[in-house]
Structure formats: structure tokens, C-alpha cells
Chains A and B, each alone.
Chain A
Amino acid sequence: MPDIKALTLLTTQVRRDILRMVHKVNSGHPGGSLGCAEFFVVLYKVLMNHKKEFNMDGVGEDLFFLSNGHISPVFYSVLARTGYFDVEELSTFRLINSRLQGHPTTHEGLPGVRIASGSLGQGMSVAIGAAQTKKLNNDPSLIYSLHGDGELQEGQNWEAIMYAAGNKIDNLIATVDLNGQQIDGATDDVLPMGNIKEKFEAFGWVVVEIDEGNNIEAIIEGMNLAKSKTNQQKPVCVLLKTIMGNGVDFMMHTHAWHGKAPNDDQLAIGLAQNEETLGDY
């Protein structure tokens, strides 16, 4: 059984990283990042079998693709705190000459990143391609991907969702961050997407729902269930219900902090709600 306490401490530190990163450059996307902090911690600390040394081809290890690249702060923080690069480098987020670009990229050679993302809707296809190469290489490792719910409005996703079922891409677990928010407001107000679970099922996917997407134990349980459903001729989707801005009370339950950084006072409040656990960078 994973050490929940240690995972919780790490999650709190990741939240601090996120807040401090976006505050420093007065830009970036804290809302979705905070909402997915527990998921990333579980993914990299519990679920994925990944190697210490980064290698682009990733043969013999599980791979992760972030499709909604704007939540780069949580991605960078967790990559750094799981050893892909020095945590001090988090201080360069969005600065000139940094490897930590506003949206993740392979271009600057940041370890842990295997594809550029930011322009939405492309990560599902990339993840499917990587999954097919795993099969061609007889590599039993799994592919994980994360997508925003608003991102499902991009049509390429549905091309990919159709293809994955039609081609039995069953070594892929695609997780959708269901926080119900996007830049202009609630997803239901911007463009109602109907029943996403039924849509995935209608396309031929297995769907696992995690109702408490900010609860570490619930995520572990749900993702292990999803894992148990791989290699059964169907792609697996996880619907992860999260709260945007989770862990910082004034950022929760609103789209307002999708792409806005806290000011000095707001940072102080956010940090006070998430006291230092593993040491700030």
C-alpha cells in the first residue's frame, strides 16, 4: 500500500510550487494545475513504472502525455520532484532562456517531456501513436494521457477516440480532467458536451469514473481499476472529477483562476493554506 501521508505531503508541496511559479511571472495557469495535483502525484509516484534517466524513446517504461499543456506548472513540479530535473529549475518557469516554457515542449530538451502541447486536442492522437509503437516493439508498458474536459470540444479528439476503439488500442489509459470549467466559464455554458461517459462508451471505450478526483486514495483505487481493464481489446478512459483550484479556497469552484496568477497578498493566503512540507525550491 502506498504511503498516503508521504503522497499528501508531496501534493501540498506541489501546490506551493504551482502558486509560487505562476506568481513570480504573473502568468500561467494555476486553476487546472491545482485541480490535478493529486492525480500527477499518484501517476508519477504510484502508478507509472518509469525510469530515472530520461530517454525519449521510453522503451520498457510507462509513458505519460499531457494534452492540456497549459497546466504545465503541475507537470513541471511533479517532474522535478520525482527526479527528472533539479527542483531549483522551477524558478525559471516562463522566463527567457528557460527549459520550462509556458507550455511543455521537447524543443528545449526538458527531461520528462516527450511532445509539445498547448494547442489543444492533439495529445490523444500522439498517445495512441505511442501506444501502437509499444505494441510493435512488444513492449507491455502502458501509455497514460491527460486531457481537459473543455479540450474535448476540439474535433481531433473524436477522430482519435473513434480510431482507438476501432483499432483496439488497449494499452492506453486516457484521463479526462472533469472540472467543468474552461476559460470563458462553465463548460455547460460555453458548449454543453452532454454525457461524456456515454459518448466514450458509445465510441467503444471502457470508462472508469473517479468521483473524488482530489482524493489520493480514490485516485489510486480508480486508476488501479482502470489499469486492470487494459489489454482487453478496448481503450480505457478515466473520468476524473476534480475541483479547479483545489487546495486554495478562493481559487476553487470557479473558472476565474484558469489562467490568472495570484498577487502578493493572494499568494500569501494560498501558501498559508499549504504549508511547506518538503522544502520550497
Chain B
Amino acid sequence: MKTYTNTGNKDTRSGFGAGLTELGQTNDNVVALCADLIGSLKMDDFKKNHPERFFQVGIAEANMIGIAAGMTIGGKIPFTGTFANFSTGRVYDQIRQSVAYSNKNVKICASHAGVTLGEDGATHQILEDIGLMKMLPGMVVINPCDFNQTKAATKAIADYVGPVYLRFGRPSVPNFTPENQSFEIGKALHLIDGTDVTILATGHLVWEALEAAKTLDEQGISAEVINIHTIKPLDNQAIINSVGKTGCVITCEEHNFLGGLGESVARILSENIPTPQEFVATKDTFGESGTPAQLMDKYGLNSNAIILAAKKVISRK
């Protein structure tokens, strides 16, 4: 079984910051906006290197989205930065009308997504953002898994013309994506080949899926692991091909099972190849304060939860 090496824990938001720093040097049209969270979003370097292209908007997210939409008129590529909660739910109508419906080339970059934001609690832990964003026509939704992939994704979305939602997080997590792996929007990454069960994971859950696959392998269960970094557009063919081989599937995400990756997969499968599916996701609940590891455990979002789900879904074949 193919194995992956953690080259050292890092936060995905720092991957975003690193990608943005590079973009500042390589693409003069990239501008960055932030709603009073420069440090949290790791936008310090971009601000320092390109003060004329950095815009501190203050605690006014609706205005930030509108300004970003307006900045595209004349060729700029705005990257907005704030927490995922304030990047989506708080400004849904602004994104809907001024960005998505108007088809503006805005990159909505959202940190601290999911329960792993930790101690701040449920007010800041959005578990509904993937659903909110994927429902908007034309919106691309990306949830990279580690530092290197977030950095690559940040650079890649600058070359894509159209609205993008880029979701990442706060905690340090294993970094295993090869440093120079390019990022292809909408192209799922096959991480481990297997025959008994397909594990589709996004974001922080990808590493957990790799860990689960290792344990399952030791127990004689062959799991196929696919990194679904792009939830929209979804790589339908990769999913259908894998499930055609394994006959069952688990979807894993740090998000509500309503509206997330799991439901997108269920739709594709029900239309093409109806398949037993289990959902590793939060179950229509808010989060709470705690450490990231405690929360991942309590809400069933770690490798243990994936292992249990794998055994259950295999039994349903």
C-alpha cells in the first residue's frame, strides 16, 4: 500500500499566506482585501511587500465583498480574507448578487473553517459554508488538505477566471502533499489504490483518511483513498470509476452532512451507480469550544470514525 510522509505539521492558512506572497511577486493584478484579520489569515507578507495592492477594510465584510466585486472591473483579481463564517453566511447576499450572479473574478479565501478553529466555539465554527457556496451557480468550491496543497491552490485560482471559494483552516496538520505538485481545479487526486471501499475525503479529513487506510490495511481491508480538494466542480468520473471497483463509499469532511461533499457525491452516485454510502461529517449540529483534536473526536471526524464507517459500509454491500 502506498504510504505518505508527514514532512512536519503546518497550518493550511499559512499555505494560503505563502501562496498569496508568491502571487504578489508574479501577478501584478492580484490585490488583497482583509476585514481586520491580517495575522490570522497570514496576509502580513503580501501587505508588507505590496502596500499599494493591499486593502484593509475593517470589520465590514459586506463592504469587502462589494469592493472586491467592483475591483474586478478594470482587471484586478481580488483575494478577500476573513474567517469562513464571515466569508460566507454573513455576506451571502453580497456574494450571490455582486460576485456570483455578476460573474466577477473574486477569490473568497476563508480561514478557520470547521470545528478545528477550536476554543472560540460555535459562533466562529462554520459547518455550513461548503453547502452555501456550492449552491451558488458558477461558484468553484475548493477545500485543500494541507499546507502545500493550499499554497498550490491559492496560486492556481489566480489563473482561473471566475468566482472561487477557497476554504482552509487554523490548526497545524500533517503536510504530505509534494511541495511542487501543481493544483488542477476539479481533478481529484488518487492517493491510495484499494478494492474494498472508496474513501473520498476533503480538507483536514484527507490525512485522517490516509491514517484510517493504513489501519484498515493491517486488518485486511483494502481502502481506496481519493482527495476531493475541489467539491465543485466535482470529479464525477473519478468517483464513479472508483466506486465501480469497490462497491461502497465513505465521504469525509469537516462540515455538516447536510449540504456538504457527501450530498454532492450521493447525487452523482444515485444518478449513475447507486452505492451504499456512509457520511463522516457533523450531523446537523453546531460545534462547541475545545481543542481541535477533542472536537474532531467528539464529532466523529477522525481516522477512528472513518474506520468504523468503512466497516459499516462494507457490511451493507
Contact = CB atoms under 8 A, between A and B. Distances in A.
A and B interact: yes
Interface of A: 56-59, 63, 65, 105-107, 114-119, 122-134, 136-137, 139, 155-156, 159-160, 162-163, 166-167
A137 B74 contact: yes
Given A116-B102, A125-B65, A132 B71 contact: yes
Given A126-B98, A132-B55, A163 B67 contact: yes
A156 B53 CA distance: 23
Given A125-B62, A125-B67, A163-B63, A133 B74 contact: yes
A160 B66 contact: yes
B67 A116 contact: no
Nearest to B63: A159
A106 B100 CA distance: 10
B89 interface: no
Contact of B97 (A56, A59, A118, A159): A118
A129 B66 contact: yes
Contacts of A124: 66
Interface of B: 31, 52-53, 55, 57-58, 60, 62-76, 78, 93-94, 96-98, 101-104
Contacts of B53: 136
Contact of B69 (A57, A118, A126): A126
Q: Would you call the interface of chain B mostly helix, strand, loop, or mixed?
A: helix
Given A124-B66, A159-B63, A163-B63, A116 B73 contact: no
B70 A116 contact: no
Contacts of A163: 57-58, 60, 63, 67
A130 B74 contact: yes
18 contacts: A57-B73, A106-B102, A106-B103, A115-B69, A116-B98, A119-B97, A122-B66, A122-B97, A125-B94, A126-B66, A126-B69, A127-B70, A128-B70, A133-B70, A137-B74, A160-B66, A162-B58, A163-B60
Given A136-B31, A163-B58, A129 B97 contact: no
B280 to A, nearest CB: 36
A209 to B, nearest CB: 25
A192 B75 CA distance: 40
A133 B101 CA distance: 21
